[in-house]
Structure 1
Amino acid sequence: MSAQAAARRRRPRALTLVLGVAVAAVVVVPAAPASAAVPGLVRIAVTSASNSTDFRSVTATCPVGKVLTGTGYELNGATGEAVVDDLRPNGGPAVAPTAVTVGAYEAEAFAGNWSLTAFAICANPVAGLVRVSASSASNSDDFRSVTATCPVGKALTGTGHELNGIMGEGVVDDFRPNGGVAAAPTSVFVGAYEADAFAGSWSATAYAICANPLTGLVRTSAVSPSDSNDFHSVTAACPLGKVLTGAGYELNGIMGEGVVDDFRPNGGPAAAPAAVTSGAYEEDVFTGNWTNTAYAICATA
């Protein structure tokens, strides 16, 4: 065999050895896995007694070691005859929230039994989590609005609201986080109307639950049909691969004549929520067309 032929036969073996080393290098240096933005996410529910008293209050508390990222509620059995006055996360501007208190009044005298469920969306500790608030002026105007904005450098994970001084005579019509399908929310707008003429002074408070920016944080939405039906329900779901940290809603066209009866994240004590359902009734007979919008705040699962 010539020296030139022998060299040609040896080259493939040398090349095989080089490729083998390259393959081995790929095997021993795997790609880093994606990390969850909110590990340990679950939904906790607590329900009040069912009776015919005028006022109902209940608190849902996160399991020990977890913090509150979002809120929700459900009125059971009142079908538009009761209104949620308080959806109040605890915590503060330097303290992470761990619970939410929901308070509801009968809007009109209601003889039947009804109950109230509070939902707490909870996760393992989230960096920089705090609760901030802003309150409107207190007066006797028919409409009240206020926006709570996260501190610079933080993003919105969840929401809350409180009506002060009106005790069942006011309804939250707008509970709207900003942001979008490609933009993280940073604030929540609360708009409330008097359900019936009310002579006293009252105010509205917006609560923003905020954290250091979470991976993949966005706000999605879904809108019900526009018609004059008494009840409108709609579900906003997180994009595939994301989970629900918080939510919001908005009634359009009804201006104080509609009541959000259900503001219900899905999930459970061992399952992360990934969608929220908003269900609303006409509080009084209303002949115009109106819609209900649900907002979902979502982060990478």
Structure 2
Amino acid sequence: MRAQNQTRRFGAPASVLVLGLVVAATVLAPASPASAAVPGLVRVSATSVADSADFHSTTATCPAGKVLTGTGYELNGATGEAILDDLRPNGGPATAPTAVTVGAYEAEAYAGVWSVTAYAICANPVPGLVRVSAVSVTDSADFHSATATCPVGKVLTGTGYELNGVTGEGAVDDFRPNGGVATAPTAVTVGAYESDATALNWSATAYAICANPLAGLVRTSTAGASNSLDFRSVVAGCPVGKVLTGAGYELNGVTGEGVVDDFRPNGSAATAPTTVDSGAYEEDAFAGNWSDTAYAICATA
């Protein structure tokens, strides 16, 4: 009985002591790091044959088990003599994209050897990922524009476009995701001008890659100098602690006389991208001042 009494006597204080230790452990335990919004993010690429053909195309496909969050491209050796016609992610309104096809035409006959590179920004499966599109009117007007908007409740991770029926006679001037440094993007606007007068009926398609809300998703931008140089390049980067899921660009003041030759996310097959480089040439000699803006879509790393 004496042993039992001692047990009872010390039972309550011991419980208080244990509870105190639990509370202390709860207070002192370090906070766990925030989860990555897009785990497994990498950038892969594919390059077409290099020759002097009028049209070049290639497709960059995500590694098995990954999905496409964003796109990019690079024209190699053309220096303003070729125009991108297609930057087309696959997928659909109910299907996650996994690849992007890039196609480019010579703006005018060009004897040089050139090629095109497609860049795919890929991640482990992202909840709710789909690709939606919007098409402008089809006619022979000099300018066409379309805005692809994500379904309600989704955000924009990446972008794409396609020019239909113009085969090298149209140039995308605006490829602009909305949003801001404190606001997640939800739509992309594509605007294209005729690079040379054409009587063809043509249109522009905007593609939006959309997902359920992602942690820390924002859109940043960097504007280059405005002058009359033939070439300019500008880099938009993600804030510290964020990674690049997609991108966009905008040419200002050149209205069809400038072509974006490089739309290149950094990163690699083993490294997440964090910046995008937008480089543009004059397609024909242009005396006016113009500039290039690069847009980066970024989420928590």
TM-score, shorter chain, exceeding 0.5: yes
Which residue pairs with 2:9 in the alignment? none
Which residue pairs with 2:225 in the alignment? 225
Distance 1:94 1:27, change over 3 A: same
Deviation of the 1:130 alpha carbon: 0.1
Which residue pairs with 2:84 in the alignment? 84
Deviation of the 1:24 alpha carbon: 5.2
Which residue pairs with 1:103 in the alignment? 103
Helix, strand or coil at the partner of 2:117: strand
Q: TM-score, normalised by structure 1?
A: 0.92
Which residue pairs with 2:238 in the alignment? 238
Distance 2:88 2:141 in 1: 23
Distance 2:280 2:25 in 1: 59
Which residue pairs with 1:187 in the alignment? 187
Which residue pairs with 1:119 in the alignment? 119
Which residue pairs with 2:5 in the alignment? none
Residue correspondence of structure 1 range 17-36 to structure 2 within 5 A: 21=21, 25-26=25-26, 29-36=29-36
Which residue pairs with 1:289 in the alignment? 289
Helix, strand or coil at the partner of 1:25: helix
Distance 2:88 2:256 in 1: 21
Helix, strand or coil at the partner of 2:289: coil
Distance 2:18 2:64 in 1: 54
Which residue pairs with 2:168 in the alignment? 168
Helix, strand or coil at the partner of 1:158: strand
Are 1:259 and 2:250 counterparts?
no
Aligned residues between the structures: 286
Deviation of the 1:32 alpha carbon: 2.9
Deviation digits for residues 78-104 of structure 1 (CA, Å, limit 9, x no counterpart)? 000000000000000000000000000
Structure 2: give runs of 5+ residues left out of the alignment: 1-16
Deviation of the 1:30 alpha carbon: 4.0
Residue correspondence of structure 1 range 135-214 to structure 2 within 5 A: 135-214=135-214
Deviation digits for residues 238-265 of structure 1 (CA, Å, limit 9, x no counterpart)? 0000000000000000000000000000
Which residue pairs with 2:134 in the alignment? 134
Distance 2:19 2:274 in 1: 45
Deviation of the 1:26 alpha carbon: 3.9
Runs of 4+ residues over 6 Å off in structure 1: 17-20
Which residue pairs with 1:215 in the alignment? 215
Deviation of the 1:200 alpha carbon: 1.1
Deviation of the 1:25 alpha carbon: 1.6
Distance 2:22 2:271 in 1: 42
Helix, strand or coil at the partner of 1:21: helix
Structure 1: give runs of 5+ residues left out of the alignment: 1-16
Q: TM-score, normalised by structure 2?
A: 0.92
Distance 2:117 2:50 in 1: 10
Helix, strand or coil at the partner of 2:296: strand
